[in-house]
Structure 1
Amino acid sequence: MEGGSNSKMKEKMDRQKGQNPNIEPFVPKKGHDPRELKSWAKRTGFVSTTFSSETERANSLSRRDFTSGRDLNVRNDNAGFDLERGVVNKTETVSPKIELDPILGRARNRGVEIEPVLGEGLGNGTRRGENLGRRIEMEPILRAHNEERKDGLNENGYGNSSANGAVNGNGHIEQRKDDGDVDEEVVYPDGEDPSYGGWHKSPPIKCGLRDNPGLVLLMYYGLQHYLSLAGSLIFIPLIIVPTMGGSDKDTANVVSTMLLVSGLTTILHSYFGTRLPLVQGSSFVYLAPALVIMNSEEYRNLAEHKFRYIMRELQGAIIVGSIFQSFLGYSGLMSLLLRFINPVVVAPTVAAVGLAFFSYGFPQAGSCVEISLPQILLVLIFTLYLRGVSVFGHRVFRIYAVPFSVVIIWAYAFFLTTGGAYNFKGCSADIPASNILIDACRKHADTMRHCRTDVSNAMRTAAWVRIPYPFQWGIPTFRLRTSIIMVIVSLVASVDSIGSYHSAAIRINLKPPTPGIVSRGIGLEGFCSVLAGLWGTGTGSTTLTENVHTINATKVASRRAVQLGAAFLILFSFVGKIGAILASMPQALAAAVLCFIWALIVALGLSTLQYTQNASSRNIIIVGVSLFFGLSIPAYFQQYAPETGLILPGYLIPYAAASNGPVHTGNAQFNFAMNALLSLNMVVTLLVAFVLDNTVPGSRQERGVYIWSKAEDIMTDPSSLLDYSLPSRVARCFHWAKCVGT
């Protein structure tokens, strides 16, 4: 007992003199986990060569002294990394070395020995006790900062790949050098801490949102923007009007109407919607349900005025669905739904919009392979192999891939027609296929109708000047069954637009809009679709998914350029011959272009997954299951109409399930609506993805949850306020409407 007391007294005297206590040697044992820091490692500061996931996440950050503004963890040398600016100094070649404190999970200065922390008031222990207190006070600050700003994050604020800082085997963090072709990543300008961390600087934009480069350049940029979107703006009438039994003149009139409505709605959206440079137009989201309605059993054998009857019913359904969409936005309900709509939901839904037409695309284009195959190959050559070719500083093949290829192949088809390639003895392309009596001519009827460039009589019958007007096809017809279909489809269109809003804002280096601004945009899209229903375009008006691809290709995001281009569309819509020229395009050529556009929509939809953790098995399974059942369940419903093969062409059979589906209840209107909705790929895909993503557990960073800006962030940032706020006179009228982000 006495010996033990003497040894304790001696150890106490040694501590008072500032001497270090003896440290017992490290004795490894079998089954020891090197990542688990035991008491010896904690006392000695032993740094393991492998780290737990918590330590790795903590080490990926740069720690700073928030009270004094000094860097606590990185030694003061020219390491080539500036933590204040968050960018790599490429003039240096030495990477910073940061040692890690395994106890606190943070970096510490090299060259400082780890000494035991002594009690206060005992020699050198006083200073060390103060340092310990200071370090303990710093822990909650660093921990909060660690949760706010993370390294290696994507545009949505969460990481899915390796971060810029890598941990080597010696426990040091090394800064990776970016390749020359990779865009440099920086934090948000002026050191702001936005509503989410990990802001990435996108490639530079030639013309920003509020830039005014002059009238000449604005005209050029505006026409360029709409030419790159030409395929999405004008090809829908070439599909729906012939299917509804309309004439070539009707096709030209619908094209002109679509140009007018697209111009009007784009201008409205640029002033009273989200105010992003996004073109509004007839979306492919509405094309599949329109085909389902027009191929219903009651319209199949209708002979007289078939086009007007179907158009009126489409108008009524679109108006009802659009009113619901407008209410959803302006009531603020969309702000509540935003928390359930994430990239894992948006990606398969948008992809399903393009995949819904796989049974229509090449079967229709294959009717004239000598035109469609060269068209597909040429547009792929322009967009993939020649995308880097620059002419006078402009990548023309990437921007104008669709217009250039269409003009070239259309001229090629014209030479084939005039050269007699489609001249068959005793056969005339002007005679309808049902009236052809000669068997040899009946075999060539489809070839002549799809390949010849002189089949359409739109140029001969269209007027030079024609102004589209509301109710030009008659008073809309309102039915419960078609209204239910369009109400659900308006939800799909809203989900599509939400993804476009977020992607466009990130692409042009803006803060994402607030939930109120998103609701305002959805509400205005509903109002614009009401206009489309009144004028009779056959489909609703929404934000075109291809907008993001166009901005990325042209590097132009000017609001004024989009507005000026919309004004040109309105002027073009008054010239009837312009619509007639577009309506005269061979059907096989139009189908070949649509094959590329629908594939592009699929790619743009799947690219939304970049905001999530791509390697997550949760996300992969949800997207895969959603797409599979989005294709398989509609195929099950479509097999219940075998007799339609005798009436409809093969590429329209998938859209004839509404009248013959397996759902049978006591209400015929409900049967039609349910069979139609469950035969639509995008509706089933959205339903499956929405349920799985919101019920399967997953962290926010794994799901890639959309992080929208807060209203106070926009109000206190003059730049963002000018980007998103309504015009002053309009804003004063709606200052009470907080739910729409005024």
Structure 2
Amino acid sequence: MTTEDSTRTDSKRSDLLYTVLDRPPLYVTAVLAFQQVMISLAGSLAVSSFVADAACAEDDTDIKSRLLSSTLLMNGVTTLLMVIVGIRLPLYQGAAALYIVPLIAIQSVDPTRCLIPEGTSSSSNNSIVSYGVTEHPALNVLAMTKIREMSGSLMVAGIVHFAIGATGLVGLALRIIGPITIVPTVLLSGIYLSRAVTRFSKTHWGIAFATAAMAITMSIYLSRKNMPIPTWSKQKGFHWTRYPLHQMFAIMIGMLFGWGLAAILTATDVIPFDPKHAQFKARTDARGDVVENANWFYFPYPGQFGSPIFETGAFSAFLIATFISILDSIGDYYACAMICNVPPPPAHGVNRGIAVEGLCTALSGAMGCGHATSTQGGNIGSIGITKVASRSVFLCASIIFILFGLVGKVSAIFVTMPYPVLGGGMLVMYGMFTGVILSNLQVVSLKSTRNLAIIGISIVSGLMIPRWIETTPNAIDTGNLTADKILKVLLANPNLTGGIISCILDNTTPATLQERGITSWHPQLGDDHNDDDRNMSYSEGMEVYNLPFSVKWIPHKVLKYLPFLPGKKNNGEMFPMPQFTV
């Protein structure tokens, strides 16, 4: 290694204040852990709120509070397991936004899902009552039934998710899936999520755009500025230091600003106190009794909404989101390893991480969360800002999330957030999500007419077919109601149509691996891979991925059949990709 290479390596080593295996002082760990929690709260609230909406519990504050408590608890449990026995990188596991798309698809297929015949109550009138009337006794039963259907279907999807990781089957998928398949598939999710943003923002567009504008100002316009912060130390005493705090908490600052604006408009009665008014849910006191009525402590438990029900249509939709979530998580594993300056994750680490995510997805289903938990890329970015890669920080963050999930008042406070404030935060979050997905195209040859055609056809098809199902719900008629519903839910999901088309075209039309972007995602296929490995120096080695307990007591004959445990066969840098000859 040359002197220049050595200097570059030393600089990279010193770039991190704390590495993965380091243990920062307790006060540093606590502050950084709380920061990770605050970064993630807005996303968890958004996903949980939409689950409540999909379950016809939009105005049932008790159910919404219980859903959010369950979400926060599972965020903590999944993060704890991922750091201890999962891939063991500093990764936060939170509510997966990808699972919102299947819920939107289900809603579009059955627009009358939340309308209750009057005959189901004590009234004799046969008219239809909207679910917005919270006094209707059948509404709670309907919401509970919807959540139970989500729970049973999510549990089965989680079991499949776990099996894919535990058996190492994820390697087979990566043999045929590359950037040209992933980008249109996940991009369609980002586009489709605009429906959820609109649903919350439309109550007051002014507050929604003000919330988003503040978050954009903090994160983009002031991205090159550092905020002056008063600090004290024994060496310097009281002094000012500069830190990009506003950028790290941009979304939270924006939402607090929007909440304050809504409070002013509420106090001055600019937004009328009329439950039937379109802007009523923009008021801060629209659900003011929630905090007062909430219990101080609430312990979410499996089956809290009733026994899970398996619903074939919901399971089919969740299964699609599961496959996309797995691929997204693998990308996050590699990104985290890169930013922590450790070797790429071995096969056993990736398999174990996917298995833990699947196990916790099943547990989230049992809890009634209505969504899975998966790796959140935003928290990986915060490691690059703070320069602290210690997994002790994420262990502490998991404990904070568990405590938040058990304290009922915390969930109740966030449930009272005005709808347009939530919509403005979602606009920025999902907007950034879509932008990050598009960034994967940088490894693909955009000069190739083949690539452009595949991407364009996949996106248009992914938007066209769900629109057709939504506008002509009776177009599919097989004579079997169950089969009709499954087909409608599958075709209404843009991920399925766009993903299948892009995958088929990408693997059946002539192209080189470099043109497809495969060599960038799997450097072992490139010509310079071995040279890069020799010149690469890491802050820590493969011991980062070791389990906290020894597996030497397991016979090698057994160990080779357990791809989620370290062994000679499972220590490879990932999954070998075949050289396509088309």
Classify the secondary structure of the residue corresponding to 1:285.
helix
2:2 maps to amino acid = E
User: Given the alignment of the two structures, is residue 84 of structure 1 paired with residue 2 of structure 2, yes or no?
Assistant: yes
Distance 1:520 1:381, change over 3 A: same
Alignment partner, residue 301 of structure 1: 115
1:480 maps to amino acid = T
CA distance in 1, matches of 2:203, 2:491: 29
Aligned with residue 162 of structure 2, among 313, 326, 341: 326
Alignment partner, residue 45 of structure 2: 234
2:187 maps to amino acid = A
Distance 1:608 1:556, change over 3 A: farther
| 1:464 Cα deviation from its structure 2 partner | 0.8
Distance 1:612 1:552, change over 3 A: farther
Render the CA deviation track for 1:687-742: whole Å, top value 9, x for unaligned.
222222222222222222222789xx9xxx99432211222246755844452252
Q: How does 1:576-591 map to 2 (within 5 A)?
A: 576-591=408-423
Residues 326-335 or 578-587, more deviating:
326-335
Classify the secondary structure of the residue corresponding to 1:542.
strand
| 1:572 Cα deviation from its structure 2 partner | 1.4
| 1:664 Cα deviation from its structure 2 partner | 2.4
Contact 2:458 2:498 (8 Å CA) reproduced: yes
Distance 1:554 1:698, change over 3 A: farther
Calculate the TM-score normalised by the size of structure 1: 0.65
Q: How does 1:515-664 map to 2 (within 5 A)?
A: 515-640=347-472, 660=473, 662-664=475-477
Contact 2:201 2:419 (8 Å CA) reproduced: yes
Which structure's residues are more often helix, by fraction? 2
2:61 maps to amino acid = D
Aligned with residue 264 of structure 1, among 77, 91, 94: 77
User: Given the alignment of the two structures, is residue 286 of structure 1 paired with residue 83 of structure 2, yes or no?
Assistant: no
2:258 maps to amino acid = I
Classify the secondary structure of the residue corresponding to 2:223.
coil
| Percent pairwise identity | 26
2:468 maps to amino acid = Y
Q: How does 1:440-589 map to 2 (within 5 A)?
A: 445-589=277-421
Distance 1:517 1:205, change over 3 A: same
Classify the secondary structure of the residue corresponding to 2:202.
helix
| 1:415 Cα deviation from its structure 2 partner | 1.8
Contact 2:263 2:283 (8 Å CA) reproduced: no
1:84 maps to amino acid = T
Alignment partner, residue 707 of structure 1: 522
- Answer with 1 or 2: which has the greater Rg: 1
CA distance in 2, matches of 1:203, 1:621: 45
Contact 2:343 2:542 (8 Å CA) reproduced: no
Classify the secondary structure of the residue corresponding to 1:367.
coil
Aligned with residue 549 of structure 2, among 724, 728, 731: 728
| 1:387 Cα deviation from its structure 2 partner | 1.4
CA distance in 2, matches of 1:487, 1:373: 34
Residues 697-706 or 526-535, more deviating:
697-706
Alignment partner, residue 509 of structure 2: 696
Distance 1:666 1:362, change over 3 A: closer
Aligned with residue 87 of structure 2, among 274, 277, 289: 274
Residues 464-473 or 693-702, more deviating:
693-702
1:471 maps to amino acid = G
Render the CA deviation track for 1:545-579: whole Å, top value 9, x for unaligned.
43343334444332111111111110111111100
Alignment partner, residue 563 of structure 2: 739
Alignment partner, residue 200 of structure 2: 364
Classify the secondary structure of the residue corresponding to 2:302.
coil
Contact 1:351 1:604 (8 Å CA) reproduced: no
Residues 323-332 or 609-618, more deviating:
609-618
Classify the secondary structure of the residue corresponding to 1:281.
strand
Render the CA deviation track for 1:504-542: whole Å, top value 9, x for unaligned.
222322222233432222222111101101111111122
Q: CA RMSD in A?
A: 2.9
| 1:615 Cα deviation from its structure 2 partner | 4.2
User: Given the alignment of the two structures, is residue 220 of structure 1 paired with residue 31 of structure 2, yes or no?
Assistant: yes
Calculate the TM-score normalised by the size of structure 2: 0.82
| 1:363 Cα deviation from its structure 2 partner | 5.3
CA distance in 1, matches of 2:20, 2:199: 41
CA distance in 2, matches of 1:205, 1:285: 31
Contact 2:296 2:408 (8 Å CA) reproduced: yes
Contact 1:238 1:590 (8 Å CA) reproduced: no
CA distance in 2, matches of 1:479, 1:366: 31
Distance 1:681 1:465, change over 3 A: same
| 1:587 Cα deviation from its structure 2 partner | 0.8
Gaps of 5+ in 1: 1-82, 90-185, 191-199, 434-444, 641-659
Gaps of 5+ in 2: 117-137, 228-240, 526-532, 567-582
Classify the secondary structure of the residue corresponding to 2:98.
coil
Contact 1:347 1:605 (8 Å CA) reproduced: yes
Classify the secondary structure of the residue corresponding to 1:740.
coil
1:565 maps to amino acid = A
| 1:241 Cα deviation from its structure 2 partner | 1.3
| 1:319 Cα deviation from its structure 2 partner | 0.6
Contact 1:249 1:457 (8 Å CA) reproduced: no
CA distance in 2, matches of 1:346, 1:206: 34
| 1:502 Cα deviation from its structure 2 partner | 2.1
Classify the secondary structure of the residue corresponding to 2:113.
helix
2:440 maps to amino acid = T
Contact 1:249 1:461 (8 Å CA) reproduced: no
CA distance in 2, matches of 1:669, 1:553: 50
Aligned with residue 55 of structure 2, among 229, 241, 244: 244
User: Given the alignment of the two structures, is residue 343 of structure 1 paired with residue 164 of structure 2, yes or no?
Assistant: no
| 1:204 Cα deviation from its structure 2 partner | 3.4
| 1:422 Cα deviation from its structure 2 partner | 2.0
User: Given the alignment of the two structures, is residue 675 of structure 1 paired with residue 488 of structure 2, yes or no?
Assistant: yes
Contact 1:382 1:397 (8 Å CA) reproduced: yes
Render the CA deviation track for 1:41-95: whole Å, top value 9, x for unaligned.
xxxxxxxxxxxxxxxxxxxxxxxxxxxxxxxxxxxxxxxxxx8356599xxxxxx
Contact 1:371 1:409 (8 Å CA) reproduced: yes
| 1:497 Cα deviation from its structure 2 partner | 1.4
Contact 1:388 1:398 (8 Å CA) reproduced: no
Contact 2:445 2:516 (8 Å CA) reproduced: yes
Contact 1:515 1:741 (8 Å CA) reproduced: no
CA distance in 1, matches of 2:523, 2:195: 37
CA distance in 1, matches of 2:446, 2:111: 44
Distance 1:85 1:677, change over 3 A: farther
Distance 1:409 1:672, change over 3 A: same
Alignment partner, residue 119 of structure 2: none
Alignment partner, residue 68 of structure 2: 255
Distance 1:463 1:448, change over 3 A: same
